[in-house]
């Protein structure tokens, strides 16, 4: 038996049962669910589980944070649930049913940039290091850089540009490859398409602004001419060109006979997409990208720039929750291409720091809570290094006020950042290391903003937290007193046993069942439930004594006190010969209250012309006394008490 069997059983129940799971997989730290009805998941109870560090819903997936042991948890879960796990890609496809068009578009953009992030981070670190050695005037009374006084460091600076240029100037190659990879078409064609956008035969995109229109090289086709312009560092032209290639390849695959597809499909797809990229899509994408970056740049540098910065700083963390923050990558890269730097990225790095500082405040407040510290400390470190999700979902959103304190601190730091004109050369390096991506002349200004992002959320969280946590302590004390009173009451009635609802639905007396045998109590006293769900659970701890192997519509249970119970699904359903019914237990098996016993199909029962009312009959009372049924109520399976006895 696995280590997490009991936790897996509890999580299965809290997500709404097996029938509510459309798909499930896991990643490095999280269980990823696609739920049929997300509203059935008891989020609060799930987050209260000891094995769970937090939960959130994103891109149509309900994600439960388990931690580094998620693989073991997942294995136990799929065994308990009796379902097959699927790949993350299949979960994403299933989750799309729960997404709007905008969410699907954002998810697609995120999936395009996700494989590029390691290269972008590396490029950002290299450019940051080059900033330190070739642009910081720290020597000979502030007149020379390290490269000016050392041939070795000058050579290092020149050599490192080889990687920096490959990452940022050749970005369209990576984008075209990533799009074809995501869409399942030929990745090599995507690489070739990307190379045609940054070819050395073309005028470099960074040189276009300084080149007179008459001096721009052209392809002359006699009747018309096309500018020979490269798209180094451009995002939108590469995305448009890549998707054109993808759909052309899919089109030609569909219409081309298999015997010649190896020749026709790649040739026609690549040729037409390259023509479309340079004749139409490139110029159009360039204009659209330039317009977007110009609008953002105007907001950052215009008369309301401080307000713009404050608003962006405040809303960035909420954007992370929705997934919309992925759009900023494309905008940042476009700003770098058009203006030689971006003012958005410094604010993003500051938002990372601010959320981390809010967690640091919680860590200080909860310094004596070892369990909380196990989540607080790793989340804080992660934030300071640029990854905010563990902090946001695992700590700050749980209490609420730390998240808001982080937003406020981020907004103040971002307003100061914009006021100082802080600009980054590159993106990808977030949190405290983000200072390496800042242009040297703005590093001091960014350091000041970092101090604000560190101090303000921490202080606000501590101040607000003292009052909030004190109130929680009072509420916890009151709750403990209430629990103590309930426990005392329970001790007084320790001989009283309960029967929980075996289905969700309305509980009715036997006389309303509409069957002569059951309604008249011929087989024994009891009650019934008009089902709203399709899994029958054991209402008590008992042993399985009777199973109807042919019809599978009923189950007999025996308790330790000799009481015997019959659970019978539907009226006259024995005539269905088991169609629509499936046993989940075996005869002689000992089960606990809440164990799934039978899965049944209400639709098939209705089509067969039978009522699906499910009865519970006490066929033998044994040593039980004072049996009392609670009818006329709405019951929830495994939770609502529907009968008691001593």
Positions annotated as catalytic residues are: 27
Q: Give the Cα separation of 408 and 456 in Å (integer).
A: 8
Q: Give the Cα separation of 616 and 525 in Å (integer).
A: 8
* CA torsion through residues 300, 303, 306, 308, sign: negative
Beta-strand pair 564-569/614-620: antiparallel
Find out whether 351 and 415 touch, Cβ atoms under 8 Å: no
Residue 214 token pair: 């008459």
Find out whether 14 and 6 touch, Cβ atoms under 8 Å: no
Q: Within 13 A of 515's CA, how many CA atoms are on the CB side?
A: 22
Q: Give the Cα separation of 576 and 550 in Å (integer).
A: 9
DSSP string, 46-105: HHTSTT--EEEEETTEEEEE--TTHHHHHHHHHHHHT-----HHHHHHHHGGG--HHHHH
With both helix axes pointing from N to C terminus, report the angle between 187-197 and 261-276 in degrees, rounded to the nearest 10: 30
CA dihedral (128, 134, 138, 141) in degrees, to 10, reads -160
Q: Give the Cα separation of 106 and 88 in Å (integer).
A: 17
Find out whether 286 and 234 touch, Cβ atoms under 8 Å: yes
SS3 assignment, position 488: helix
Looking at 135-281, list the stretches that DSSP marks H as alpha helix, in order from N- to C-terminal side.
146-149, 151-168, 171-183, 187-197, 236-255, 261-276
Q: C-alpha distances in angstroms, 361 versus 55, 381, 403, 457, 463?
A: 21, 13, 11, 8, 9
Q: Give the Cα separation of 533 and 531 in Å (integer).
A: 6
Residues in contact with 92: Cβ distance below 8 Å, sequence separation at least 6, in sequence order: 59, 61, 107
Q: Which residues of 133-167 are buried (b: 16+ CB within 10 A; e: fewer)?
A: bbbeeeeeeeeebbbeeeeebbebbeebeebbebb
Nearest CA to 12 out of 58, 51, 59, 67 is that of 51
SS3 assignment, position 424: strand
Cβ count near 53 (within 10 Å): 22
SS3 assignment, position 23: strand
């Amino acid at each position: 038996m696995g280590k997490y069997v009991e936790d897996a059983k509890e999580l299965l129940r809290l997500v709404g049962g097996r029938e509510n799971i459309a798909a499930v997989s896991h990643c490095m730290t999280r269980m990823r669910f696609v739920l049929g009805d997300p509203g059935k998941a008891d989020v609060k109870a799930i987050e209260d589980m000891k094995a769970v560090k937090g939960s959130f819903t994103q891109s149509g997936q309900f994600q439960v944070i388990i931690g580094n042991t998620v693989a073991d948890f997942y294995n136990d879960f799929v065994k308990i649930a009796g379902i097959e796990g699927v790949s993350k890609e299949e979960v994403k496809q299933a989750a799309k049913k729960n997404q709007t068009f905008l969410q699907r578009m954002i998810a697609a953009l995120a999936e395009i940039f996700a494989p590029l992030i390691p290269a972008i981070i590396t490029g950002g670190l290299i450019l940051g290091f080059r900033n330190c050695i070739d642009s910081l005037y720290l020597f000979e009374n502030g007149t020379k850089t390290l490269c000016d006084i050392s041939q070795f460091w000058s050579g290092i600076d020149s050599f490192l540009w080889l990687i920096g240029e490959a990452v940022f100037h050749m970005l369209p190659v990576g984008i075209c490859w990533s799009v074809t990879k995501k869409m399942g078409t030929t990745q090599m064609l995507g690489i070739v398409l990307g190379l045609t956008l940054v070819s050395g035969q073309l005028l470099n995109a960074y040189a276009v602004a300084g080149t007179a229109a008459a001096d721009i090289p052209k392809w002359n086709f006699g009747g018309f001419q096309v500018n020979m312009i490269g798209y180094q560092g451009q995002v939108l032209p590469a995305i448009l060109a890549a998707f054109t290639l993808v759909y052309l390849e899919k089109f030609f695959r569909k219409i081309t006979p298999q015997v010649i597809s190896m020749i026709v499909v790649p040739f026609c797809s690549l040729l037409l997409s390259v023509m479309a990229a340079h004749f139409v899509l490139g110029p159009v994408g360039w204009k659209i990208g330039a317009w977007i970056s110009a609008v953002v740049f105007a907001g950052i540098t215009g008369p309301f720039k401080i307000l713009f910065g404050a608003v962006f700083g405040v809303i960035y963390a909420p954007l992370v929750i929705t997934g919309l923050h992925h759009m900023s990558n494309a905008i940042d890269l476009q700003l770098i291409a058009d203006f030689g730097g971006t003012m958005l990225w410094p604010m993003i790095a500051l938002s990372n720091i601010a959320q981390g500082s809010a967690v640091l405040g919680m860590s200080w407040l909860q310094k004596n809570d070892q369990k909380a510290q196990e989540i607080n400390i790793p989340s804080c470190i992660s934030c300071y290094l640029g990854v905010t999700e563990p902090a946001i979902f695992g700590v700050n959103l749980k209490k609420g006020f730390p998240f808001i304190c982080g937003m406020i601190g981020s907004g103040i730091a971002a307003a100061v950042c914009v006021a100082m004109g802080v600009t980054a050369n590159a993106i990808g390096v977030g949190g405290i290391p983000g200072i390496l991506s800042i242009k040297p002349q703005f590093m001091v200004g960014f350091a000041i903003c970092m101090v604000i992002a560190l101090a303000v959320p921490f202080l606000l969280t501590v101040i607000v937290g003292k009052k909030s946590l004190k109130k929680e302590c009072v509420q916890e004390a009151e709750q403990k007193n209430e629990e103590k009173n309930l426990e005392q009451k329970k001790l007084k009635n320790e001989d009283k046993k309960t029967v929980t609802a075996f289905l969700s639905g309305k509980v009715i007396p036997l006389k309303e069942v509409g069957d002569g045998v059951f309604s008249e109590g011929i087989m024994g006293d009891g009650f019934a439930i008009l089902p709203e769900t399709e899994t029958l659970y054991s209402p008590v701890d008992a042993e399985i004594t009777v199973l109807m192997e042919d019809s599978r519509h009923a189950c007999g249970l025996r308790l330790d006190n000799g009481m015997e119970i019959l659970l019978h699904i539907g009226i006259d359903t024995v005539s269905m010969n088991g169609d629509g019914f499936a046993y989940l237990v075996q005869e002689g098996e000992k089960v606990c209250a809440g164990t799934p016993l039978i899965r049944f199909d209400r639709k098939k029962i209705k089509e067969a012309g039978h009522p699906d009312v499910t009865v519970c009959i006490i066929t033998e009372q044994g040593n039980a006394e004072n049996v009392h049924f609670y009818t006329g109520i709405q019951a929830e399976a495994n939770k609502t008490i529907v009968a008691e006895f001593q």
